Structure 1
Amino acid sequence: MSISILGAGAFGTSLAISLALGGRDVTLWARDNSAIETMRDTRENAARLPGAKLPDNIKLTSDIGDLTDNIVLLAVPMQRLRDVLSKAPALHGKTLVACCKGIELTTGEGPVEVIRSVAPIATPAILTGPSFAADIAKGLPTALTLACDDETALKDLQAELMAPNLRIYRTSDATGAELGGALKNVMAIACGAVMGAGLGESARASLITRGFAEMNRMALALGSKPDTLSGLSGFGDLILTCTSPQSRNYSFGFALGNGADFDRNITVEGAATARATLQKAQTLKIEMPITQMVVALLDQKLSVREAMNELLARPPKEE
């Protein structure tokens, strides 16, 4: 079977390479035709994934009408997902697999919810978990979670997305999977800020642990299964994103912590997600103090040390 990928950023390109090397024919779409022409000529996405060669069985296109496969991976930023889908009605009857992580700022919806909202006749799913595009493109071993409420479609989709270096685990808990992928980015900003400010590894370990508790509180309140966030889509992704400078969210937080400039052209999903999460938490009356501190940092209402002091000064409680 062939597979289409909408979005030729680093992650979309890396998935295209992995699936193509696994024997799939892949159509990779980007809206910038000049970028597509360059990629055709060089067989490389030098702007997003330098050094990674594109196999011959990857077709490159800027015409969304070329995405004719039944399975389409949506590798676009979370805050653009609704707009992209709204402009591509031909995709609405297909199996649409979100490969982005976050919560939409305007609606509070996750990727699967956005797909359901814009394309109600589609079969929505999400592919998420601890993964860096550069690792996948190099053929390094990576395990991901595939979530879809339709269990029959889920098993077929799992088989189609497996590749030599990609091990795919499945779950029917799409809510939990999308929340794990979204909320870990908020915690990664917090951990980056702590390390950037020189507050130490012990502080980071505490934030990871208590951040995981926050993630679970929201996931359970929204109907997730209790064990979903203990897997790759939650705990696994949290550990990777909170400990590696390859993470854009961690690096953004690190820059916040040490007062350095950060490239505004780099997408940091956790910033919008933090604000959307805090709004949702307030509506649900859920305590999420780390998320609240991240928003305060983003709004420049507190310094990192002031935010940490507020967290440390919270009333004693049972773990």
Structure 2
Amino acid sequence: MTRTAVLGAGSWGTTFAKVLADAGCDVHLFARRPELAKAITEDGENRDYLPGVRLPDAVRATADAAEALLGVDVVVLAVPSQSLRHNLTEWRALLPGDATLLSLMKGIELGTTKRMSEVVCEVTGAGSDRVAALSGPNLAREIAAEQPAATVIACTDADRAAALQAACHTGYFRPYTNPDLIGCELGGAVKNVIALACGIAAGLGFGDNTRASLITRGLAETARLGAALGAEPATFAGLAGLGDLVATCSSPLSRNRTFGEKLGQGLSVEQVQRSTRQTAEGVKSCRSVLDLARAHGVDVPITEAVVRVCHEGESAARMVREIMSREAKPE
């Protein structure tokens, strides 16, 4: 039996803990707040982040990181991307020496423009072959309800990727493997930014044509950036690229799309943040994605527009006008 620790008891971390348990793993779910860990243990449910979903008995919650990490084969990192470095610094001495480190996070670190796997390697000293990322159209609530979904496990080590694949393969959750860690992580990070743009457009009252245009052009700027970083072009046509982008830009369950919709309706970033306890990764990551693109000379107009709305006070309506007034050119 694969022994796993899921560090982070938000909606996606809790959902993935359920997936692992349903696949036959022994799972420790780490919650930073002792009262949340106690409630999960007593109720068999994470009522703060995943109400109504019964967790398998194989999921055991704890607020003690050392207890969660003792002797595990796989460490799943499910914290907000901008807090990863801080959290890992706290946990690194507790990590088993050869455990596989699996990132569920979809972001680019502010300041360093590093992908999450790069942060993991830098902080822990782990070789890149020990680090993997999971990405794809993975809306937590649907997966927790055992609706069929597929995902991608990206790792440069094919054997580790296959082991992770077996550890989370269930009747409702189908993982594929892919050696392109760069492309899978980049697709997961940039799609959050494009989803914010789609949400803004929806909040302004625009329909399917607008959303389809943003998705398509958003995929184009993701692929341009990926090419500059050495990603495989085919990755962006797959689950970690187009698949994740479509789900996140279209679903009302998407945090980033919902956040953008409220911006389009006229609320400020601060007002939307006060109204939710969920993290919309694209709000912070849009700045680091833009910094990364500029460092490589890549044009990312949708990302630039989202940054102006989220961090420079530009109105949502003006953002759309500026995108549409860009110079006409071949596709």
Scaled by the length of structure 2, the TM-score of the pair is 0.93
Cα displacement (A) at 1:141: 1.0
Match of 1:182 among 189, 194, 203: 189
Aligned equivalent of 1:140: 147
Q: Which amino acid aligns with 2:288?
A: A
Question: Matched residue of 2:217: which SS?
Answer: helix
| Structure 1 position 310, deviation (Å) | 1.4
Aligned residue pairs total 319
Q: Which residue number corresponds to residue 122 of structure 2?
A: 117
- Name the counterpart of 2:37: 36
Superimposed CA distance per residue, residues 39-89 of structure 1 (whole angstroms, 9 cap, x where no aligned partner): 111111000000011211111111111212110111111011111111112
> What's the counterpart of residue 250 of structure 2?
243
Deviations 1:24-45 (A, max 9, x none): 2211111111111111111110
Match of 1:256 in 2: 263
Is residue 98 of structure 1 aligned with residue 103 of structure 2?
yes
Deviations 1:99-131 (A, max 9, x none): 111111121111111111111225110011101
For residues 207 and 316 of structure 2, what CA distance do their matches in structure 1 show?
A: 12
Asked if the contact 1:92–1:121 (Cα under 8 Å) also holds between the matched residues in 2, the reply is no
Partner SS state of residue 127, structure 1:
strand
Q: Are residues 1:267 and 2:279 paired?
A: yes
Q: Is the 8 A contact 1:192 1:250 kept in 2?
A: yes
User: Could you list the per-position Cα deviations for residues 271-317 of structure 1 after superposition, in whole angstroms to 9, with x for gaps in the alignment?
Assistant: 11110011111111111111000011112442222212211221121
Q: Which residue of 1 aligns with 2:62?
A: 61
Please tell me the residue identity of whatever aligns with 1:74.
L
- The answer for the alignment partner of 2:78 in structure 1 is 75
The equivalent position to 2:203 in structure 1, one of 196, 203, 226, is 196
Does residue 210 of structure 1 match 2:217? Answer: yes
Confirm or deny that 1:227 pairs with 2:244: no
Q: Distance in 2 between matches of 1:84 and 1:153?
A: 24
SS in 1 for 2:309: helix
Distance across 1 between alignment mates of 2:47 and 2:316: 36
Aligned counterparts of 2:23 and 2:296: Cα–Cα separation in 1: 44
Q: Which runs of 5+ in 2 are unaligned?
A: none
Q: Does the 8 Å CA contact 2:24/2:167 hold for their aligned counterparts?
A: no
Match of 1:87 in 2: 90
Hey, what does 1:315 align to over in structure 2?
A: 327
> Partner residue of 1:4?
5
Q: Aligned letter for 2:252?
A: P
**8 Å CA contact 1:92, 1:120 repeated in 2:** no
Q: Per-residue deviation at 1:136?
A: 1.4
Aligned residues with identical type, % of pairs: 42
Deviates more, 1:209-218 or 1:13-22: 13-22
The Cα of 1:18 is off from its aligned counterpart by 2.0
Q: Is 1:155 aligned to 2:162, yes or no?
A: yes
| SS of residue matched to 1:79 | helix
* TM-score scaled by length of structure 1: 0.97
Where structure 1 has 5 or more consecutive residues not aligned to the other structure, the ranges are: none
CA distance in 1, matches of 2:124, 2:208: 44
Distance 2:25 2:158 in 1: 23
Which amino acid counterpart does residue 91 of structure 1 have in structure 2? L
Q: Name the SS of the counterpart of 1:88 in structure 2.
A: helix
**Aligned partners of 2:24, 2:293: CA distance in 1, in Å?**
44
2: distance between equivalents of 1:62 and 1:148?
29
TM-aligned CA deviation for residue 201 of structure 1: 2.0
Aligned-partner residue type, residue 26 of structure 2: D
Correspondence for 1:305 among 313, 317, 321: 317
Q: Distance in 2 between matches of 1:168 and 1:193?
A: 31
Task: Measure, in 2, the Cα distance between the counterparts of 1:159 and 1:296.
Answer: 43
